[in-house]
Amino acid sequence: MPTTMSSREFNQDAARAKRAATEGPVFITDRGRPAHVLLSIDEYRRLTRAGACIADLLHAPEAAEIPFEPPRLQDRARGADLS
């Protein structure tokens, strides 16, 4: 489960942020908006390894925790041109 902390909390307790990063990403906010993410080095290397593909990343167990709401397409249905 991701942890969220403000920039002030991060500055006051970096050790807590580092401990939390061993369990998952730590989102650091500025004025209530996500600004940075702290990851363990193992997680960073896993995400940036050569050959990683989107299917591998989406298959990861923590992917279920990532909020994803794609925008709805406008109602512009077009018939297929089969000529």
Q: Which ranges of 22-64 does DSSP label H, i.e. alpha helix?
A: 41-48, 54-59
Residue 59 confidence (pLDDT) = 74
Residue 75 confidence (pLDDT) = 64
Going by C-alpha positions, the residue among 30, 24, 36 that lies closest to residue 6 is: 30
Question: pLDDT for 28-74, tens place per residue?
Answer: 999 999 999 999 999 888 888 766 677 776 777 777 777 777 777 77
Reported confidence tier of residue 17, pLDDT bands at 50, 70, 90: very high
CATH superfamily placement of domain 3-65: YefM-like domain (3.40.1620.10)
Q: Where are the domains of the chain?
A: 3-65
